[in-house]
Amino acid sequence: MRKCLSFRNARRLNYARAFSTSSPCLTSSPDTGRLDFRAIDSKWQQRWAEQAQGQRPRRKSHKYYVLPMFAYPSGSLHMGHLRVYTISDVIARYRRMRGDHVLHPTGWDAFGLPAENAAIERGVDPAVWTEQNITKMKQQLKSMNTSFDWDAEISTCSPQFYKHTQRIFLKLFHRGLAYQAEALVNYDPVDKTVLANEQVDSNGRSWRSGALVQQVKLRQWFFRITEFKEALLQDLEYLSEGGKWPERVVSQQRNWLGRSTGARIQFELKNEAGVSTSARVFTTRPDTLYGVKYLALSMSHPLVQQLAAQNAELQRFLDKRASFPPDTKEGFELPLKAIHPLSQENLPVFTAPYVLEDYGEGAVMGVPAHDTRDLSFWKLHRPSDPIPVVVARSNGEVETLYTLPHDLSEAFTNHGTLTSACGPYAGMESQAAGIKIVGDLQERNLAEPFETWKLRDWLVSRQRYWGTPIPIVHCPSCGIVPVPEEDLPVVLPPLVSSVKGQPGNPLDKIEEWVNCVCPKCQKPARRETDTMDTFVDSSWYFIRFPDPQNEHELCSQNSARNTLPVDTYIGGVEHAILHLLYARFVYKFLCQEGLMTQERGRQEPFQRLVAQGMVHGKTFSDPETGRFLLPGELAVDGDLIVMKTTGKVPNVTFEKMSKSKHNGVDPTAAIEKYGADTLRAHILFAAPVSEVLQWDEEKIIGIQRWLGRVKRLVKDLSVRDFSSSLIGANDAFDVSKLVNSDADILLLALSTSRNIQNTFEKDVYSLNTAISDLTKLTNKLHEVGIQNLTPQVAEHVMRALLRLMAPITPAFAEECWEELTKKDSMGSIFDVIWTSDVISPEQESALKARQRLITCAVQVNGKLRFTTEIPSRRPDQSAAIGKEERETEILETILATDEGRLWLTEKNDWERRKRVILVGNGKVLNVVF
């Protein structure tokens, strides 16, 4: 008996483990052999298309806008897409079932380099190439059983869309927020063209010509995002409240904005002839001023540039700039001395690549004892020049310690108490000392409190063809002239064959397009040939979906008010910084322009952000050489996968999918093989949303078995004859007439429903637990047996189960629903009004009272580990069931709890237990391992 129990438990409770040990052969599986998931998918995809989902009139209800990040139309979906669209579709379907007015659109981030490269290499028109890819991918998206509002589909490369991208550019321009300035760009001297960063390889060479890429200054267009830095920073607080955005993303945004408070301090400099100038540094640690041993200027600092004009050796050093590794501590000592503003000591001055030219003042005061980078710099350049420790641990030794650089293994970077080296400030705490030092220097005009930001203006121009044209005209007499709004869109000219295959920006060479008339003076002028960064398109596309056909506005005030902001935005964490920052900026700008609400908090475009983890592929490699193995090099040998050549077992790891690792998985092939619903459930179950998903197809069989079990329950139930009327409403049960298993099932269905609704609504990150909750309910139904339940209860719980599954496995749920309800022709499961609870609160309390629960103290090897609720029995019943049966019941309950699993199956091996002792009919359980 016990043996039998343990077998049953192992199968039921160690569900996840059962997945991994299952046979990889699908068709022979007795559980799923009869189910053709693909056929079910196609049947319902067709039905949904006929019903033109989403167009069904809805009663006036709460709006809900759920948006997955849109895709680049590369031509085929990848696993990341499968994951993000599954998550968004589950939320959208659930919200629709709840009666919300849902907007769940998608579109195409359709501009960008790959289309242009295809054009250059193969002579295909980027527009045609893109259109073909969109058609393919749309088909693939539909094959995933998704429910998108295709009426709202947009593509950023269509003139109807980019007309508005251009309008945003003009709005920014008229506010002085779009401007031109010189900036460093990658320049290929052979092809005479500007390159995107992605086109420069790791050796600094052009991907096309192989030439060493130069950094040259060119006039570029910028958006003044820095104007919004305060608002962008401040509203991060709103986003982190209540976990609207993941804390990790909020802090990445905060770091990118990079506000830093400190002071600017001026140092007097003297050259060898005694002529003085000055330089300012930015520091966050003015309290360390007494520890300054040198000054370092960036390589493009004006003083350095001046000196280099007469100093060939210095110029040679500056020319080596590109060859320094990123963390280099190289430096060049300049023929200058700096004078310490407090001690009047003479300090050496260097130029060094570690000083950034566009941060703070482009200059630092070097404090080797208290800054890590400064310490390594000093060790390299002045290994025998002692350094003073000027800050010490509070309550520690405050006598100054002079040490030789190599005796100091680490800089002391914390705040603390100033040491005796600090003159009148000795003994003060860092913070107070810093304020005092800056205040004292300020009286001599040598310092001031100062704040700097890491955020830079957004460089938006690209010297490429396949992007939104910048709506500007350059006129010899009027200068920069914006294209009037009524002349928008400035349409991209067709890519004429003469420019195909040529380097550089094709737009420069299409004379009939470039030559135009100045809108102001009507004289000949030239069009701007830069196009916009595709991040500009994606910075506002979500504003377009609520009103995609509007010709005159991005989105009407009314649609904006009714639909924006996005309620849930879902996408890869790789967009945690730039895309989200740009979108927040543009949204704030448009709010300021009066397009969107001024209400605080709602000036954020994405009220909740779900950042999904990556999908990693199963990767096989040769344990001896580390070489990645092709699928063809592997063979199945019994339960093992081995290398064909040696018969040895390969290393198995999970890694980012890539061609070189032969570990990519094609989502469409997987859908063909397993069916979309199976994959959707598998994707959700295999990992929590934010974590890496290790794609292991062997585990899909577990999901198929589960669905097979649900299908059989439906069949068992639908062949039964319910002559008594069915229960539609919650209050139709007479609790007193139910049997015990009815009560158990109803209570389990209730808690399952509550958990799952909570997950769908608030806790999307744990969608994986929704699947395990659903399988638990399924298994319980199986175990109890449909025939042992009161028919009304069986039917009621089964309907609840299907409804809870529907957002996740929509076609499968429809199919089961149809079978289960065909006698009352209830229509689509998605049309059923969602009742939030399986049973009423009154029924719940009646059932709980009836099932009276008692508390069981669970001990492991005699030690109390946790307590849990288990059902008690009325004395008359406990006599009726045997002792062993009672024990079984209690063990099952405990093993089904999280703590039970933790203590009895994870921390200990349940299969290897020595003894189980039950005291007082369940008051204490002791398991000895």
Distance CA 285, CA 372 (A): 13
**Least distance to ligand ANZ, CB of residue 666, Å:** 44
Among the listed residues 851, 701, 730, the one whose alpha carbon sits nearest the alpha carbon of residue 799 = 730
| Alpha helix (H) residue ranges in 505-556 | 506-509, 511-514, 534-538, 541-544
Contact pick of 16, 322, 521, 919 for Zn ion (by CB under 5 A): 521
Give the 3-state secondary structure of residue 161: helix
Distance CA 46, CA 48 (A): 5
Query: Among Zn ion, ligand ANZ, none, what does residue 475 contact (CB within 5–8 Å per kind)?
Result: Zn ion
User: x-or-dash pattern for ligand ANZ, window 634-673, by CB under 6 A?
Assistant: ----------------------------------------
Cross-strand pairs, 484:
none
Query: Among Zn ion, ligand ANZ, none, what does residue 282 contact (CB within 5–8 Å per kind)?
Result: ligand ANZ
Query: Among ligand ANZ, Zn ion, none, what does residue 520 contact (CB within 5–8 Å per kind)?
Result: Zn ion
Cβ proximity to ligand ANZ, 79 vs 297, nearer residue: 297
**Least distance to Zn ion, CB of residue 67, Å:** 42
Query: Among ligand ANZ, Zn ion, none, what does residue 288 contact (CB within 5–8 Å per kind)?
Result: ligand ANZ
Contact pick of 179, 238, 324, 359 for ligand ANZ (by CB under 6 A): 359
User: x-or-dash pattern for ligand ANZ, window 228-267, by CB under 6 A?
Assistant: --------------------------------x-------
| Backbone φ and ψ of 178, nearest 5° | -120, 125
Cβ proximity to Zn ion, 10 vs 514, nearer residue: 514
H or E segment and range at residue 849 = helix 841-850
For residues 360-389, which are near ligand ANZ according to CB under 6 A? 360, 362, 364-365, 367, 370-371
**Least distance to Zn ion, CB of residue 478, Å:** 3
Distance CA 375, CA 393 (A): 18
Cβ proximity to Zn ion, 522 vs 723, nearer residue: 522
Cβ proximity to ligand ANZ, 368 vs 482, nearer residue: 368
How far lies 237's CA from each of 230, 251, 601, 640, in Å? Answer: 12, 10, 10, 52
Three-state secondary structure string covering 639-656: CEEEECCCCCCCEEEEEE
Cβ proximity to ligand ANZ, 283 vs 461, nearer residue: 283
Distance CA 894, CA 867 (A): 9
Query: Among ligand ANZ, Zn ion, none, what does residue 478 contact (CB within 5–8 Å per kind)?
Result: Zn ion
**Least distance to ligand ANZ, CB of residue 596, Å:** 33
Distance CA 178, CA 532 (A): 12
Query: Among Zn ion, ligand ANZ, none, what does residue 260 contact (CB within 5–8 Å per kind)?
Result: ligand ANZ
Give the 3-state secondary structure of residue 689: coil
Cβ proximity to ligand ANZ, 279 vs 364, nearer residue: 364
Helix axes 791-805, 700-718, angle to 10 degrees: 140
- Report angle CA 196, 199, 203 to the nearest 5 degrees: 120
User: x-or-dash pattern for ligand ANZ, window 97-116, by CB under 6 A?
Assistant: --------------------
The residue with tokens 């705490």 is 429
Q: Is the dihedral of CA 636, 642, 645, 650 positive or negative?
A: positive
Query: Cβ(896)–Cβ(867) under 8 Å?
Result: no
**Least distance to ligand ANZ, CB of residue 269, Å:** 17
Cβ proximity to ligand ANZ, 365 vs 820, nearer residue: 365
Query: Among ligand ANZ, Zn ion, none, what does residue 802 contact (CB within 5–8 Å per kind)?
Result: none
Distance CA 388, CA 583 (A): 48
Cβ proximity to ligand ANZ, 148 vs 282, nearer residue: 282
Q: What is the DSSP string of 704-758?
A: HHHHHHHHHHHHHHHTS---SPPP-SGGG--GGG--HHHHHHHHHHHHHHHHHHH
- Report angle CA 549, 553, 559 to the nearest 5 degrees: 70
Distance CA 389, CA 370 (A): 8
Query: Among Zn ion, ligand ANZ, none, what does residue 355 contact (CB within 5–8 Å per kind)?
Result: ligand ANZ
Three-state secondary structure string covering 244-272: CCCHHHHHHHHHHHCCEEEEEEEEEEEEC
Q: How many residues bind ligand ANZ (CB under 6 A)?
A: 18
Three-state secondary structure string covering 480-518: EEECCHHHCCCCCCCCCHHHCCCCCCHHHHCHHHHEEEC
The Cα diameter of the chain in Å comes to 110
Helix axes 578-592, 229-240, angle to 10 degrees: 110
- Report angle CA 916, 848, 716 to the nearest 5 degrees: 80
Cβ proximity to ligand ANZ, 372 vs 646, nearer residue: 372
For residues 552-581, which are near ligand ANZ according to CB under 6 A? none
Contact pick of 520, 526, 699, 715 for Zn ion (by CB under 5 A): 520
Cβ proximity to Zn ion, 520 vs 754, nearer residue: 520
H or E segment and range at residue 857 = strand 853-860
Contact pick of 292, 495, 518, 703 for Zn ion (by CB under 5 A): 518
Query: Cβ(479)–Cβ(170) under 8 Å?
Result: no
Cβ proximity to ligand ANZ, 453 vs 834, nearer residue: 453
Query: Among Zn ion, ligand ANZ, none, what does residue 115 contact (CB within 5–8 Å per kind)?
Result: none
For residue 289, give the amino acid letter. L
User: x-or-dash pattern for ligand ANZ, window 400-419, by CB under 6 A?
Assistant: -------------x------
**Least distance to Zn ion, CB of residue 531, Å:** 22
Query: Among ligand ANZ, Zn ion, none, what does residue 750 contact (CB within 5–8 Å per kind)?
Result: none
Q: Is 516 in the site for Zn ion (CB under 5 A)?
A: no
**Least distance to ligand ANZ, CB of residue 282, Å:** 5
Distance CA 353, CA 350 (A): 10
Q: How many residues bind Zn ion (CB under 5 A)?
A: 6
Query: Among Zn ion, ligand ANZ, none, what does residue 433 contact (CB within 5–8 Å per kind)?
Result: none
**Least distance to ligand ANZ, CB of residue 265, Å:** 9
User: x-or-dash pattern for ligand ANZ, window 274-293, by CB under 6 A?
Assistant: --------xxxx--x-----
Contact pick of 127, 339, 356, 881 for ligand ANZ (by CB under 6 A): 356
For residues 291-350, which are near ligand ANZ according to CB under 6 A? 298
For residue 665, give the amino acid letter. V
Q: What is the DSSP string of 437-493?
A: HHHHHHHTTSEEEEEE-----EE-EES-SSSPBP-EEEETTTEEEEPPGGG---PPP
| Choices 31-39, 441-449, 470-478, 820-828 (CB under 5 A): range interacting with Zn ion | 470-478
**Least distance to ligand ANZ, CB of residue 77, Å:** 40
| Choices 15-23, 443-451, 517-525, 645-653 (CB under 5 A): range interacting with Zn ion | 517-525
Cβ proximity to Zn ion, 255 vs 477, nearer residue: 477
Query: Among Zn ion, ligand ANZ, none, what does residue 371 contact (CB within 5–8 Å per kind)?
Result: ligand ANZ
Catalog residues that contact ligand ANZ under the rule CB under 6 A: 260, 282-285, 288, 298, 355-356, 359-360, 362, 364-365, 367, 370-371, 413
Catalog residues that contact Zn ion under the rule CB under 5 A: 475, 477-478, 518, 520-521
